C-alpha cells in the first residue's frame, strides 16, 4: 500500500506496466552485533534501492545507489528520485508483488518472509513489516 511521503512513497508502475518499489534505507557492512557503538557510523551505508517487477509482480531486477559507491552525494532521497526518473513515465500507486530475496554487495535485501513472526519484512534494516490480513498495511 502506497503511503505518500513515507516508507512506501515510491510504489507504482511504468508506462509498460512493470511494477516498482523504491526503498531508501541503510545497512552496515559488518554485522551490527559485532560493532561497538563508536564503530556503527564507520560501517553504515545509506542506500536507495529500486526493485523492479514484471506486470504480475514477479521480481525481475534492481538498480541502486549507495554512499559506498558515491560518497560525494549528500542526499539518498535525491538519488532515489533519479532512479525513479530513469523509468520515465510512472504512475505512483499501490502494487502487489511476490516475496524475493537478493544480495547487493554482501547485503541481504528484499521482501523476505519471517516464519517466526508470520510476517514479510523489508530488508535491509528491517524497516517495515507486512502482516496478516496481507492487505498492504505495514508496521514500522
HEC per residue, the chain: CCCCCCCCCCEEEECCCCEEEEEEEEEECCCHHHCCCCCHHHHEEEEEEEEEECCCCCEEEEEEEECCCCCCCCCHHHHHHHHHHCCCCEEECCCCCCCEEEEECCEEEEEEEECCCCEEEEECCCCCEEECCCCCCEEC
- Give per-residue pLDDT as tens, 98-118: 999 999 989 999 999 999 889
Task: Report the pLDDT value the prediction gives residue 18, as an integer from 0 to 100.
Answer: 96
- Residue 62: alpha-carbon gap to chain centroid: 10
Q: What is the pLDDT at residue 72?
A: 67
Contacts of 28 (CB under 8 A, 6+ apart): 35, 40, 43, 44, 45
Taking residues 87-93, report their average pLDDT.
Answer: 94
Cell of 74: 549528500
Q: What confidence score (pLDDT) does residue 104 get?
A: 94
Question: Is 2's pLDDT higher than 70?
Answer: no
- The arithmetic mean of pLDDT across residues 29-48, rounded, is 88
Instruction: Please give the average per-residue pLDDT across 66-79, as a whole number.
Output: 81
Q: What is the mean pLDDT of residues 59-88?
A: 89
Amino acid at each position: 500500500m502506497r503511503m505518500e511521503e513515507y516508507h512506501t512513497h515510491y510504489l507504482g508502475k511504468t508506462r509498460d506496466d512493470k511494477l516498482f518499489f523504491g526503498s531508501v534505507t541503510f545497512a552496515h557492512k559488518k554485522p551490527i552485533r559485532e560493532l561497538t557503538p563508536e564503530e556503527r557510523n564507520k560501517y553504515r551505508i545509506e542506500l536507495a534501492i529500486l526493485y523492479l517487477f514484471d506486470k504480475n509482480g514477479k521480481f525481475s531486477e534492481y538498480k541502486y545507489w549507495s554512499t559506498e559507491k558515491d560518497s560525494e552525494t549528500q542526499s539518498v532521497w535525491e538519488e532515489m528520485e533519479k532512479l525513479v526518473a530513469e523509468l520515465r513515465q510512472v504512475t505512483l500507486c499501490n502494487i502487489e508483488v511476490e516475496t524475493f530475496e537478493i544480495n547487493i554487495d554482501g547485503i541481504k535485501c528484499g521482501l523476505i518472509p519471517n516464519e517466526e513472526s508470520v510476517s514479510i519484512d523489508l530488508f535491509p534494516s528491517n524497516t517495515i513489516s507486512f502482516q496478516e490480513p496481507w492487505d498492504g498495511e505495514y508496521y514500522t
